Structure 1
Amino acid sequence: MAEPPVVEVRRISKHFGEGPARVDALREVSLDVFPGTVVGLRGPSGSGKSTLLNVIGCILEPSSGAMRLNGELVYDGKWLRADLRGLRLEKIGFIFQSHNLLPFLNAWENIAVARILADAGPAQAKGRALELLTYLGIERRQDAMPGELSGGEAQRVAIARALANDPRIILADEPTAALDSPRAAAVMDLLRKVATERRTAVIVVTHDEKIFDRFDHIYALRDGALEPTRASAA
């Protein structure tokens, strides 16, 4: 039996302002993302990519529509969960163009803090951090400070942090924009590994054409509307 989608977006719209000043950032977007898949969102600036990512990440409230994450209906004309912070900690990992590592914590501490925010004890949080650093092949850098890491190493730590609470959904906003081609390919290969081995749904906003061959599906956003542009086995 086929697995159900991890992300189900149904006719989601988002507008800002009213009357003549109204801007429709998303227009009845519907999207399914299944376990083990890596999906790309592309489009010009202002097309709605980051808005859609922030809606799926439960950061930005839609204006209308419905959304189910990992089987739970979380939005249907309104948020159905009072604790959105807890929802994000439970279901979603975030990766950004800038790795956003805390400069006063070393690599494993940057990962462990995400587990501590989810109420794990210090020993359990450190164990999880070291496990993920090993999983991503960067355990030798566990004590390095962010300023001592290369761009690719810092993004690996950021990926590990996103995985700290074992989410079923990974949202990445331009994760390879600051990397050269080999490091960008390495980061996307890691996201593919995570998707395949952990049955995670990975959604990546990108302008980076050098990684387009790493996606199962690529969708274009144009004026807030979503259209598929390619579907293939990566």
Structure 2
Amino acid sequence: MDPLREPLVEIAGVSKHFGAGATRVDALRNIDLTVRRGEVVALLGPSGSGKTTLLNVIGCIIAPTEGRVTLDGEVVFDNHWLRGDLRRLRLDKIGFIFQFHNLLPFLNARDNVALVLTLAGKPAAVAQARAAELLDYLEVGHRAAAMPALLSGGEAQRVAIARALANRPRIILADEPTAALDSKRAGIVMDLLRKLAAEHDACIVAVTHDEKIYDRFDRLFHLRDGILQSQKEKET
């Protein structure tokens, strides 16, 4: 890993617990994690290990109990939120990709992507142009007018990736992005994510159980019982 590459995600001393007393659950325990520009990293571990909780902390969906979260050079949490409008923060800095595409069934592919830009306050013409550009970039532009029900699994996931990229986020969070795909399509999606990280000066943090794509990550982080136990860098 190039130490001069700019950190986009910095997690320092982050813990998260739910409940209190005898019913308290420590979901995360004193997590330190840095992900740099251009990196594609995985969060691995058994169910209940804290992977999704950590992803949700990075995504500013849940607040840590303690610790500091810095995204794209901005400290956004330091034992309390430093931003009042978390929705705007997510729109500005973060793109989300999920196991299931979650496309709105009553909008076509292009409008599913453009909606994100509209919510961010972009004019309709700008939103439509950016959506078309992204769909072309992801080689699914020919399906821009198709409704989600008529898209293949791989096509729908590409549209979902286009939606995640709409506001040019530098931090992309993926929750089991290939679980619904076969081996060939899973490899294509991961190669695409690596290309996006390199070409868009972004980083990608993915939760996955999909062993067939482990070789597509720069580093593998293992969590167990809320503790970040180890990391493994890809062999070169």
Give the % identical residues.
62
Note if contact 1:101-1:146 (Cα within 8 Å) is conserved in structure 2: yes
CA offset at residue 232 of structure 1? 1.6
Structure 2 residue aligned with 1:74: 76
Q: Does 1:40 align with 2:45?
A: no
Bigger shift: residues 124-133 or 223-232: 223-232
CA offset at residue 227 of structure 1? 2.6
Structure 2 residue aligned with 1:186: 188
Give the residue type in structure 1 aligned to 2:93: K
Could you list the runs of 5+ residues in structure 1 that have no partner in the other structure?
none
Of residues 194, 214, 219, the one that matches 2:216 is: 214
Q: Deviations over 1:49-95 (max 9, x none)?
A: 00000000000010000010000000000000000000000000000
Could you list the runs of 5+ residues in structure 2 that have no partner in the other structure?
none
Structure 2 residue aligned with 1:150: 152
Provide the rounded CA distance (Å) in 1 between the counterparts of 2:49 and 2:5.
30
Provide the rounded CA distance (Å) in 2 between the counterparts of 1:225 and 1:194.
29
Q: Deviations over 1:97-126 (max 9, x none)?
A: 010000000000000000001000110000
- Give secondary structure in 1 for the equivalent of 2:214: helix
Give the aligned length. 234
CA offset at residue 233 of structure 1? 5.7
- Give secondary structure in 2 for the equivalent of 1:27: strand
TM-score by length of 2: 0.97
Give the residue type in structure 2 aligned to 1:101: L
Root mean square deviation, CA, Å: 1.0
- Runs (4+) of structure 1 exceeding 4 A deviation are none
Of residues 164, 175, 180, the one that matches 1:173 is: 175
CA offset at residue 2 of structure 1? 1.5
